[in-house]
Amino acid sequence: MQAQLTILFFGQLAEAVGTGMETIAHVRDTVQLDELLKARYPRLNGFTYVRSVNNKVVSGITEIPEGATIALLPPFSGG
């Protein structure tokens, strides 16, 4: 059985894709993840978002461990 990833969508991203959570087949890294999600949900192409892998914000090309939980967060500002 192939490992699965849990994808959590928050805020306007959840509205754009029509769900707050999805399970997908494991992908190697954040580049593959973005390609897969933008192909599946073309509306994501118009959004900027932050990626979190297992509760840790990541940027650039990041390897994704098997069974990880990925959160896609809309941009946020501190104050």
Q: How far apart are CA 11 and CA 43, in angstroms?
A: 14
Domain count, the chain: 1
Which tens digits make up the pLDDT trace of 3-27? 899 999 999 999 999 999 999 999 9
Distance (Å, rounded) from C-alpha 57 to C-alpha 49? 11
Q: Is residue 40 part of a domain?
A: yes
For residue 61, being part of any structural domain is answered with yes
Q: Which residues are CB-neighbours of 64 under 8 A, at least 6 positions away?
A: 5, 26, 27, 28, 29, 30, 33, 53, 70
Is residue 52 assigned to a domain? yes
- Identify the domain containing residue 21 by its residue range: 4-73
Domain of 57, CATH number, reads: 3.10.20.30
- Which tokens sit at 41? 């949900």
User: ∠ CA 61-6-2 to the nearest 5 degrees?
Assistant: 85
Residue 39 lies in a domain: yes
Whether residue 41 is contained in a domain is answered as yes
- Does this model's pTM top 0.85? My answer is yes
**Domain-located, residue 47:** yes
Task: Answer whether 4's CB lies under 8 Å from 26's CB.
Answer: yes
Task: Give 42-72 pLDDT, tens digit per residue.
Answer: 999 989 999 999 999 999 999 999 999 999 9
Which of the pair, 75 or 1, is modelled with greater confidence? 75
Is residue 21 situated within a structural domain? yes
